[in-house]
Chain A
């Protein structure tokens, strides 16, 4: 059992790192979004496996809540992407710079 929790956590860490690499290396905003979801779910995986390991119900509840919130967040995020695409006609996240100091007078 102790070995199996370690392998679950290792898997979660690998998934998290992949997600993070995706966030900082990809420009397409959809892929960035998917990477974020991947990171979120890697954390979820830790919760679930911890719940099994300690035979406790609380981590399972938190995992369920994260899934629910992720669903709501997905709706917001996707609609934001749609709005931004309409503005800029692009999905390249490097071009969304309207909050930077240089371009603030845009």
Chain B
């Protein structure tokens, strides 16, 4: 049996580990830097416990127990080489460090991209070497929607996604007209709607838009022996106490139950070991990790998968001598190839979503804090689509609107303290503008890929383990700023149309609708509370993106000229080193990222299991040919799913 090492236990790592272990050909060692807050993983039943709670102090006011420590493991930031070595040190978009990764704190939106989103560059008239949008590296994806669709479907079933599309006779009826075709319905129907999602949705419907319940990887009913959600209201930022959030842990559970996987937590991988083999190609031979006491251990492996986030995977590659950890800044607008990274693009094209938030406070108590964080989305502002036939390059590409949102009173109190004090503050708390009467839109705006937005190694700073920290160089492109400005008034118009005579909620009306700046400063080391910034009314604008949607750095491409990984996540110079995760994204369509991370991770795992890939370059026909063998993996390893039956 071959030995595989998967670095990271989030959505991507757990998915790859599950497939490798289920295949029977691999023994998988999963290495996770963070703690394991679960009990019973890999045990005989689905009675998995955890240490999470509805605790607004520990999880939202203090630095939460799953947060990467900004003093012990800082990152640095600057807008680009012209700004000096760095302009900020601390928490720069770090994802949770724990078994389960980003699927612990997320609010579990599980969205597919659309057909047009994989081919927008060519629809706009661009080519691989001449992007349609100037100043960007805009590109088509190596795979298209028709390739990824079965993997979206299988992951929706494995994870457990609730959503509105259902089967009627032989057809799938989908109330969301902005989505592309699907071959299967959702695993579960939508759960209870939230009033602060319904109100703007109803207003949007009257204005001619088509909002719909949002596909969410939270159980709306007991599913595969896992509990249903009770709409406790402590969702985004919190671990789920009853495990109704479908996250990486269920795939880990599956993997461990094969008896061919082992999970080690609190081990920090500090180097990928590799050697040069025949034909000048490289092989990963294992990894070296450090335990909390500082001792290092080397584990040998036949296969290494880096699934520790786009930024950390780039950093780990760089400290292992793969790619350019210290690129030439004078030539940062060009690729800088090396033996280990013939693309010269490892770490480049880093993307985040540009989030635009519009809030409304309504006159009545709408129980904003009850239920899942947002139960509906409106996809009208993602850009024209869903198929090439409907595409219109003149429509700006923004993002979906998440509808809902809530604040608990501790956070609310800090916000209210910006304008009220003492008895007056308390009166406002009793009115509850943010915990009782709030609704919001958050637009997950598409972010243009730029070669000058990148991760490298900070030249000076190391973390508590002595390893150089990642440095993020990033600034927004005018395209996404313009799209945000274009859609903001349309968002405000919907909020202003909430309730009133003639609506389904005649007694409700909007008192105030505002666009707010959500680019808040990360908590500084030595300042444990983000709320402090509100108290001081000193919310300094900075250009560090607030979104935890991290993409790019490992773009999957048909040839090394266009990205550091092949269509199946393999590093071009290596036979057996892969990235799985958001790093593979070529662009950043305006949807939540996790389901696409899952689908791509399934592709990576299926390619390894079935032996697809390994070429020095691919044509589109090669990708089509590989698809058949990838689908065999679904039939073989997930034969109990609707999609496997549909593929037969």
Verify that A and B bind, or say they do not. Answer: no
Interface residues of B (CB under 8 A from A): none
Write the residues of chain A forming the contact surface with B, with a CB cutoff of 8 angstroms. Answer: none
